[in-house]
Amino acid sequence: MKSKKSEVLQGTLDLMILKTLHALGPLHGFGIARRIEQVSRDVLQLNEGTVYTSLLRLQQQAWIAAEWGTSENNRKAKFYSITKRGEKHLQVEAENWERISDVIGRVLKLEAER
């Protein structure tokens, strides 16, 4: 039984992966993990393995597609790329986030003005 908290975290991770693939193009799992580590500047402490669960879910929802290919050091690796559906989903979710953070920001500023 996953708790609500972990579900939210998973959802966030899904978005981060989609964004990463959108920005950087096709990547394999290790690359995605490194990029996220970089971007979040070690603030986000999660087990790297959870990336793969996200990738599986994203595949099931057809937001990303997978293909076997060769990595930089000539190893066999699975490359993931974002799909059109994925782009759409990303856009929708990003807008949601913007709206929410906007509202929260305004509410918090309200407090400060008191």
Q: How far is the CB of 107 from another protein (least distance, A)?
A: 27
Q: How far is the CB of 89 from another protein (least distance, A)?
A: 9
* Residues 22 and 39 sit within 8 Å (Cβ to Cβ): no
Is the Cβ of residue 41 or residue 114 nearer to another protein in the bound state? 41
CA–CA distance, 101 with 78 (Å, rounded to integer): 35
Distances, alpha carbon 19 to alpha carbons 32, 64, 72, 90, in Å: 10, 11, 22, 7
* Residues 90 and 18 sit within 8 Å (Cβ to Cβ): yes
CA–CA distance, 84 with 19 (Å, rounded to integer): 13
Is the Cβ of residue 76 or residue 109 nearer to another protein in the bound state? 76
Is the Cβ of residue 51 or residue 110 nearer to another protein in the bound state? 51
Q: How far is the CB of 108 from another protein (least distance, A)?
A: 29
- Binding residues for another protein, rule: CB under 8 A, are 1, 29-30, 33, 46-50, 52-53, 56-57, 60-62, 75-78
